[in-house]
Amino acid sequence: MPTIHVMKTTLANMIAAGEVVDRPASVIKELIENAIDAQSSIITVEVFDMGMKEIKVTDNGDGMDLEDAKLAFLRHATSKISEEEDLNHILSLGFRGEALAAIASVSKVTLKTRKEDTDGVIVVYEGGSFVSEGSTPTNIGTSVSVKDLFYNTPARFKYIKSEFAERQAIMDIFDHLALAHPEIAFSLSIDGKLLKETYGNRNIEQLIYQIYGQNLTKGLLKASDTIQKIEVNAYLISPEHSRSKKKDITLIVNGRYIKNYRLIQAVIDGYHSRIMVGKYPMAILYLDMDPSLIDVNVHPQKYEVKFVNEFVLAFLIEDIIKRTLSYNTQEISTPYQRVMKDETYIQESLFIDENVSEAISEPTHSKIPDMDYIGTFSGTYLIFQNEDGLYLVDQHAAEERIRYEYYMEAFKNPVFATKNMLFSKPLNLSPSELLVLKEEIPKFTPFGFQFNENLELISIPTWLKDGEIDLAIESMIHMILEKQTIDLSLLRDALAKDVSCKGAIKANKPLNLSEIHAVMERLKHADNPYTCPHGRPTIIKLTHYEIERMFKRVVS
Ligand SMILES: Nc1ncnc2c1ncn2[C@@H]1O[C@H](COP(=O)(O)OP(=O)(O)OP(=O)(O)O)[C@@H](O)[C@H]1O
Ligand SMILES: [Mg+2]
């Protein structure tokens, strides 16, 4: 008698279910995706008790006849693909033929469905076993009710996190799927209360408003591009509305909401210095491409997607976002738009340097209006006025921005012209930093640094100012320590931020009129004059209206 036996289907399905449905939100995802695949134009989602009591998804799609409605519960039963070849060009969201079987194995499912010109049918499954079938009056389309989720898998049941976490996960998946399909009207209600609905009229601005519930569309930018047959439509929410998590960077590939680390990072890099440190942008990216360029058959939940040309795509996305954000003049902050952190800066001045103004490209148009200097407040804030109102410029932040762009420009090409030093320069580094330097010298040479056998500098890149050599070397060493390898674009960004910030703080004298003029001229011509590299505003505007409102001369 062999001890090994093939397990019964209900048990196999229950084991497999763990990968597909790990929480109520994943049931909702699978049911909504089935409804989308059925060409529905209206999808309603009802959730009771975090989805543990009941999840019900109703659509007005194609529907099924009785035979299909029963087959749908079998594992590996699908209408979406049939040949191996089909895996190479998947356009439907489902294709694995396992979601309904998985859900039904860990809950009690009632499916009602009706195709056009036929009668409605009902099929009931419980814990993976068929319970009953019959006819029933119902609308064209399908409704799937999932009750008592995980009732027969106590371990999973216990694993379900807090009510808050589950609710959040449910809303997140609903949001992402609704954003992915602007042509479908979605609604979500929790415990009988309607929480969100979308109109399905393809109006993305309206959709963003409906999903996020607040007006994030002010300053919304759209960027479109087609490169190598990949169509990119990016909706970029203004950097003002940053988030503390990355989840509101929504990637949609051929109508599928996906997660992809590299592409999400590309979006973050695209917004780079416009967002406060530790915050993330909000954006929705629709990518449409030939399905043979992607592989969605990576994980049962189908969030992960492999792209044939992921690096190119990431580069393209970052570039599109950067270009779009810098072409479009951001608005100057007003105190009502941005809650500023209370930060005190030491009084400092701008180190005026001919090279800096040369490095900044000639302006096409000024992004800061003409205004007259009136005075300086607290040694730090330059005050200006013009017919529109009053402006405060944080001279430290402005200097950081100017220097940052100077260094970004200087670091653009990986090979730099070098200048030899008159005397070799010993470096002011700790023993462990010297050790890293010794081992990693080849990583410094492309930047134009050369050392003698005593690890003293004998040549440096022409762009580096003498006073900033130690700072630059130190930054590079820390970059190597943190990241092991040197990513040129990250290094460039880190160095530009580090050098510009530390360089700016060093100087400490009030500005005279011609220096103020020089700062403002260079700020005007900066690529993004409105924030410092860390995302704090450089300039704040108080309009006439706002000032009059503060003095109660007008009633708002
Ligand atoms: N809402 C629906 N409307 C019409 N047909 C549906 C609906 N839900 C499921 N079906 C049918 O049932 C089949 C099985 O659904 P199931 O979700 O288990 O697998 P799938 O969608 O094919 O693949 P996956 O496991 O990747 O989701 C589908 O292929 C489809 O034919
Ligand atoms: Mg499915």
* Ligand 1, atom 31: closest residue by C-alpha: 79
Rounded CA gap, 404 and 396, in Å?
A: 12
The three-point CA angle 292-97-254 to 5° equals 35
115 lines ligand 1 (CB under 6 A): no
Q: pLDDT of the chain along its 556 residues, tens only?
A: 788 999 888 888 888 887 889 899 999 999 999 999 999 999 999 999 999 999 999 999 999 999 999 999 999 889 999 888 888 888 999 999 999 999 999 999 999 999 999 999 999 999 999 999 999 999 999 999 999 999 998 877 777 767 778 888 999 999 999 999 999 999 999 999 998 999 999 999 999 988 987 778 888 999 888 877 889 999 999 988 888 889 999 999 999 999 999 999 999 999 987 888 778 999 999 999 999 888 888 888 888 888 887 888 888 899 899 888 887 655 555 443 333 333 222 222 222 233 333 333 333 457 788 899 999 888 888 999 998 889 999 988 888 888 888 877 776 664 567 788 878 888 877 777 888 888 888 888 877 888 998 889 998 887 777 767 877 788 788 777 776 665 666 666 766 776 666 665 444 457 888 888 888 988 988 888 888 887 788 898 888 888 888 887 876 5
Question: Any idea where the domains of the chain sit in the sequence?
Answer: 9-197, 214-327, 335-556
* Ligand 1, atom 9: closest residue by C-alpha: 34
51 lines ligand 1 (CB under 6 A): no
**Centre of ligand 1 from the C-alpha of residue 240, in Å:** 41
99 lines ligand 1 (CB under 6 A): yes
Ligand 1: which of 98, 100, 111, 146 to mutate, judged by most atoms within 8 Å of the beta carbon?
100
Rounded CA gap, 55 and 46, in Å?
A: 6
Rounded CA gap, 95 and 80, in Å?
A: 5
Average pLDDT, the chain: 83
Instruction: Examine domains 9-197 and 214-327 and report if their fold is the same.
Output: no
**22, 156 contact by CB (below 8 A):** yes
* Ligand 1, atom 1: closest residue by C-alpha: 35
501 lines ligand 1 (CB under 6 A): no
* Ligand 1, atom 27: closest residue by C-alpha: 94
30 lines ligand 1 (CB under 6 A): yes
DSSP state of 128: T
**382, 463 contact by CB (below 8 A):** no
Rounded CA gap, 553 and 556, in Å?
A: 10
Rounded CA gap, 237 and 249, in Å?
A: 10
Q: Which ligand is nearest to the CA of 73?
A: 1
* Ligand 1: nearest atom to the Cα of 96: 26
237 lines ligand 1 (CB under 6 A): no
**Centre of ligand 2 from the C-alpha of residue 465, in Å:** 61
For 105, the enclosing helix (H) or strand (E) is helix 99-105
Look at the domain 9-197 and name its fold. Answer: Heat Shock Protein 90 (3.30.565)
Please give the CATH superfamily to which domain 335-556 belongs: MutL, C-terminal domain, dimerisation subdomain (3.30.1540.20)
Each residue's pLDDT tens digit, 31-51 = 999 999 999 999 999 999 999
**Centre of ligand 1 from the C-alpha of residue 220, in Å:** 36
Strand order of the β-sheet with 108-114 is 129-135, 121-126, 108-114, 141-147, 54-59, 42-48, 185-190, 193-197
* Ligand 1, atom 6: closest residue by C-alpha: 34
**61, 39 contact by CB (below 8 A):** yes
Residue count of the chain, please give it. 556
Considering only the top CATH level, what class is 214-327? alpha beta
* Ligand 1, atom 12: closest residue by C-alpha: 72
